[in-house]
Amino acid sequence: MTFRAERRGTFRAERRGTFRAERRGAFRAEVRDQIAKWRRDGVFEPRSDSWLTGYDEDFSRRLGARGWIGLTWRGRGFADRFVLTEELLRAGAPVAAHWIADRQIGPAIARLGSAALKQALLPGIEAGDVRFCLGMSEPDAGSDLASVRTRAVRTDGGWLLDGQKVWSSHAHRATHAYVLARTSTGEHKHRGLTEFVLDMSAPGVTARQIPDMRGPGHFCEVFFDGAFVPDSAVLGSVGDGWGQVTGQLAFERGGPERVLSTYPLLALTLAAAGPADAGRVGELVARLTALRRLGKQVAARMDAGEAPIGAAATLKMLGNRFEVDVIEVARSVPGVPRAAIDDAVLAAPGFSLRGGTTEVLGVVIAREAMGAVG
C-alpha cells in the first residue's frame, strides 16, 4: 500500500497553541506601545549594549511598576520574558540595573532559595529595587570557573566569605551579589562549591570599579573579608554549586541579548541602506530572523523545565558573531551616525567573552553534537 492510500483522511491541521500565541502577540503589542510612549516622553535614549551599559535605576523601577520584572517566576514564563526583552533590546532601552536579577538570579532564588530568601528578595527584585551583580569569575578563575578559590567557612548560623571576585558588572551600585564559593576542598574541583546570596552592605564587602577603555565603565572587583552570609541565603544545596551554576548558564547564555546587543545600530543601518547595501544588509536580516527563532526555541525549552545548555551555547556563539557583523556592515553604509558606530565598536570586544568565551562555547557545542550522534 502506498503512502497516498494509507494516509488519506488521517491528517488534521494543527491548531495547538494558537490561543496562547495570540495572547503573546497582544503582549508584544502592549510592550511596543509602552516603549514607544517612553521614547516619545524622553524617558530614555536608545543605545547599543543597553543591557550591560544602559544602567538606569529609575527606568528599572518603571518596568517594575508595570509588572515587567520577574515574569519567569510570576506565572508568565520564559516565552513572555523573551518577547518583553526582545522589544526592550530592540529599542536600546536602559535595562542593565535589573538585568542580572531578572535573567538568572531571580529564577535561581525562585527555584532553589529558602522561603525566607524568596520572601526577602523576590518582591524587591520585582519592583526594581533589589539589584544583583554576579560573583563568578576570579583573578585565577575565568573560563575555568571551577577553579574558584573564594572560601566560605562555617560559622554560627551561616558562613563567612573570604576571597575576591572580578568582572562583576555594576557591583559598586548593586544591592546584592550572587557568589560562587568553595565550601570544602581536597576533592575533585567540581565538588565542594556552593552558591550564596550576599547583601552588598554587609561588613567585610568592598567593591571597587575597574575603569575600562570607555571610561569608568561597569566592571568591578569585589573583596570579601569575613563577610557573613546567613544559612537562609544559601542557594540550593551546600556542595552542589557546580551543577546548579552550569544549569544557570543556560539562562545566562540563552537570551536575546546574545543576539541583539547591536540591534539599535542595525536599526539605523536599515534606515540608511540604499540599493548598493541591500545584499549585505539583507544577509543580516535573514540571519537575524533565524537567530531570533532559535532564541524563541530556547525560551520554550526553558518553559518546559529544561536547561538547554547546548542550544543556549549555540545561540550565543552565533549571536555574538552576528552582533559584530552588524558593526562591520554599518561601517560601510553611508549615513549611519558615527557616534552610534563608535559606541558599538567599543562594546564589541566583550560580546564573545562575557557569559563564556566563543572557544569554551565551541567545546560545549561539539560535546552536544557528538552526544546527539551517540
Partner 1 sequence: MSMPDVEEAAVKVLGGAADMRDAARITAEQGWHLLGVPEPEGAGGTLADLTGVVRAVSAAGLSSPLPELHAPVVLSVRGQLIAPWGPAWENVNLAGEPYDIGDAPSSGAVLTRWRILHAARLVGGCQGAAARTAAYAATRVQFGRPIARFQAVSALVAEAHAQAVLAAAGLEAALADPEDDLVAVAALATASRAGTAVARVAHQVHGAIGVTQEMGLERLTRRLWAWRDLPGEAELEPLLGLLGEERAWDLGAGDE
CA distances from 269 to 186, 292, 332, 346, 368 (A): 55, 19, 9, 18, 35
- At its nearest, how many Å lie between partner 1 and the CB of residue 347? 20
Instruction: Check residue 291 for interaction with partner 1 (CB under 8 A).
Output: yes
Mode of pairing for the β-strands spanning 158-166 and 151-155:
antiparallel
Considering the complex, what minimum distance in angstroms separates the CB of residue 20 from partner 1? 10
Q: How far is the CB of 21 from partner 1 (least distance, A)?
A: 5
Q: Which residue type sits at 235?
A: L
36: contact with partner 1 by CB under 8 A: no
The Cα–Cα gap between 372 and 368 comes to 6
Question: Least distance from C-beta 111 to partner 1, angstroms?
Answer: 27
Stretch that binds partner 1, among 120-128, 165-173, 218-226, 313-321 (CB under 8 A): 313-321
Contact between residue 228 and residue 159 where contact means Cβ atoms under 8 Å apart:
yes
Q: Which range in 17-25, 106-114, 146-154, 243-251 contacts partner 1 by CB under 8 A?
A: 17-25
Q: How far is the CB of 49 from partner 1 (least distance, A)?
A: 18
Which distant-in-sequence residues (6+ apart) come within 8 Å of 6 by Cβ? none
**Is residue 374 close enough to count as binding partner 1 by CB under 8 A?**
yes
- Residue 353 has which C-alpha cell? 567573552
> Which residue lies nearer to partner 1 by CB, 4 or 188?
4
Grid cell 544602567 is found at 55
Report d(CA 304, CA 313) in Å as an integer.
Answer: 18
27, 83, 90, 135 from 31: Cα distances, Å: 6, 9, 11, 32
DSSP state of 191: S
Nearest distance from C-beta of residue 52 to partner 1, angstroms: 22
16: contact with partner 1 by CB under 8 A = no
Tell me if 267 contacts partner 1 by CB under 8 A: yes
Contact between 34 and partner 1 by CB under 8 A: the answer reads no
Q: Which CB sits closer to partner 1, 195 or 277?
A: 277
Residues between 72 and 131 with contacts to partner 1, criterion CB under 8 A: 83, 90
The Cα 316–Cα 270 span in angstroms is: 23
Q: Give contact residues for partner 1 (rule: CB under 8 A).
A: 2-4, 6-14, 17, 21, 24-25, 28, 83, 90, 267, 270-271, 273-275, 277-283, 285-294, 297, 311, 314, 317-318, 359, 361-370, 372-374
